[in-house]
Structure 1
């Protein structure tokens, strides 16, 4: 680990190593959880999950990998998903603070149907099997809500909105907002994502969870009449679905800042900067959007 001040000075040797005792090579991993202030590591060599304190990286406790298929982390708790049987999947909820078991239960499954996903949001468990309804289970009260397959089809990705007790789903370039009663809260009027498979690198949710900023398909067409390879950056209100701002190549109000002495020789036009964007970030303090593209260039969009 290296402090930002040393990185800015290019003094990378000033950092110090972390998790030297752990073998984290694939399929091992390390996951930083800033919500709970914890770090989760998995050593495939030893078959053990370990939890560390994010403040000082001190070891807290370990979880033996005995048939654990996946671990989901939510505020205050961890969900352990074990290898399924034909008729159910064993689940265990642990306290994130000390690893003590809070609940052990079995979720019944349809035999012969693969599991599309199991997701956890606080006390809510979302389970979807192939060609079956979505199930939303309250693990504390055991209340079960089902949403028909016609209404809720399997998304390619989720983003949970912890501040609003809602969740976003991404499917076929579209975004939708749902509550945990299985009701559609918002669909978006002008927010068709660029990537079919929902690359969350090109999506940013503001801290207040009121805005979504994404790299989207543009209405513009190429000179030869074919579909344009240039996208747009769309900013939409999460609760209403309204597009409130857009950075598009055909916007006459967009201008390029003049070069300063010592600026790099590589310089992009606005259409070039909006072509094949691979990463997007919004600096809320400076009100600036940063985008990176497949050419390895970073562009700053400022009002």
Structure 2
């Protein structure tokens, strides 16, 4: 084994006092890059380039391997500690996995807008039951041509079911009144289509039931849902 593998020594430390709790050895191929090492509760996820993903229980040393063709290296993770699941982001797609390496949910019509799968425009609710993302969409212009705009999609994490979709197709702009108080302020007006262009940040206020988005033009929009 020494010829084919090298070991990496990892330690688990107590957050409270920094004392070592357990020492773990990882056996790695010496000539292959480490794609990621992630710790999620008692499970450690290890992936090397071209190799299967290993899910290791750090207390029992139980090992589960998942084929590299089934689980490709994602661009980002979001761990769902309440549900003992995790989200992966790869090539604009989102998937939900359990800690046995099994696919739980994949989302149709939920293609993220940004190539780099940035999680800045992805929001997970505090109950970890909904994912709200800025996604690709197709809006129809007045002349009948299809113009690409983004949409805000909300889906159930466990089922993949779409429960809401905000896009230029299903929203209209409500004009502001021209009261004296409004006339004293300088307001930037945006159409729905303009507000849905190149969103770079998204946040959902669960108490007020409002979505806040910011775009590359530096504008912030509030969506009442």
- Give the TM-score, by structure 2 length: 0.91
Q: Specify which of 191, 212, 216 is matched with residue 294 of structure 1.
A: 216
1:225 Cα deviation from its structure 2 partner:
5.5
- Does the Cα contact within 8 Å between 1:89 and 1:109 map onto a contact in 2? yes
Q: Which structure 2 residue ranges, 5 or more long, are not aligned?
A: none
Deviation at 1:254, TM superposition (A): 3.3
Q: Distance in 2 between the 1:297 and 1:219 partners?
A: 22
- The secondary structure found in structure 1 opposite 2:137 is coil
**In 2, Cα distance between equivalents of 1:241 and 1:159:** 16
Is residue 2:176 matched to residue 1:258? yes
Q: Distance in 2 between the 1:140 and 1:165 partners?
A: 17
Counterpart of 2:132 in structure 1 is 213
Runs of 4+ in 1 over 6 A off after TM superposition: none
CA deviations 1:212-263 (Å, max 9, x no partner) are 00000012367795762x2010001100011110110111x43335246244
Mapped to 2, the partners of 1:100 and 1:195 lie a distance apart of 42
Q: Deviation at 1:194? A: 0.3
After TM superposition, the structure 1 = structure 2 runs for residues 214-229 of structure 1, keeping only pairs within 5 Å, are: 214-220=133-139, 228=148
Q: Distance in 1 between matches of 2:31 and 2:147?
A: 42
Alignment check: 8 A CA contact 1:156 1:198 kept? yes
**Cα contact 1:290–1:301 (8 A) shared by 2:** yes
CA deviations 1:112-142 (Å, max 9, x no partner) are 0100000000110000000000000000000
Residue 150 of structure 1: aligned partner: 69
Which of the two has greater strand per residue? 2
Note closer, same or farther for the CA distance 1:148–1:140 as it changes in structure 2 (3 Å cut): same
Secondary structure of the corresponding residue to residue 120 of structure 2: helix
Counterpart residue number, 1:243: 162
- Count how many residue pairs are aligned between Structure 1 and Structure 2: 216
Instruction: Kindly report which structure 2 residues correspond to 1:1-303, keeping only aligned pairs within 5 A, or say none.
Output: 87-220=6-139, 228=148, 230-251=149-170, 253-256=171-174, 258-259=176-177, 261=182, 262-303=184-225
Structure 2 distance, partners of 1:174, 1:182, is 17
- 8 Å CA contact 1:256–1:270 kept in 2: the answer is no
Larger relative CO (CA 8 A, sep 6+): 1 or 2?
Answer: 2
Please give the alpha-carbon distance, in whole angstroms, between the structure 2 residues aligned to 1:263 and 1:233: 29
